Amino acid sequence: MRGEQPKGTAGAKRLPGRPRSDAARSAVLEAAYGLLEEAGFSRLTMEGIAARAGVGKATLYRWWPGKGAVAMEAFLAVVSPKIAFPHTVSAVADITAQMLRLAAAYRGTIGKIVCEMIALGQADPEIRAAFLDGYMFPRRDAAKEALRRGIASGEIRADADLELAVDALYAPIFHRMLLRHQPLDDAFVRGIAALVFTSLAPK
């Protein structure tokens, strides 16, 4: 009859709440991070994630190529807000604050997960690629953007080598996180920041 729409078409009434795919994806990411915390990356499996999330394994492979990709997305969903850069009038203060946030995260479970991913990535190209592309490179880009703000504001000299500056600021944090030979405390982080930014200050 004219004016009526078949069942199941755009005229059908949508059920309240998030679409099933969004809810399932959120459940998968929550399950994956929970398993990362409990068992570590090496014991994480697509079967285990699917079982905890209450979805089929085929669903996981429809969205992610393997456990490295789903683990990294789950990791970033939890970690990114914790280590985001603030945005104030001082880029130097923002970077220092972010370094302190990062060190605090690395002193806990997040640091253990990062250490494991770095270790496993030495022999597994998929894990290494997931870590570099999903975590490391975007974090470096964010740090370089903050440094550019410092150049624009006159806090950092215009000829500063941004790649070298990022390494100088963050490599010591990774060094202490990985080796644990000295404490990764706030005093250490502030000392590194002061040392590097003194060398980057305009002459």
- CB-based contacts of 144, cutoff 8 Å, min separation 6: 162, 163, 166
Element housing 137 (H / E): helix 137-153
Structural domains of the chain, ranges and CATH numbers in brackets? 20-75 (1.10.10.60), 84-200 (1.10.357.10)
Structure tokens at 112: 């253990």
What digits encode the pLDDT tens for the residues 128-145?
988 999 999 999 999 999
Tell me the whole-structure pTM to 2 decimals.
Answer: 0.84
- Please give the Cα distance from 186 to 96 (Å, whole number): 10
Question: What is the Rg, in whole angstroms, of the alpha carbon atoms belonging to the chain?
Answer: 22
Amino acid letter, residue 153: S
Are 55 and 24 spatial neighbours (Cβ–Cβ below 8 Å)?
yes
What is the predicted pLDDT for the residue at 11?
A: 42
What digits encode the pLDDT tens for the residues 15-52?
444 455 889 999 999 999 999 999 999 899 999 999 99
Amino acid letter, residue 49: I
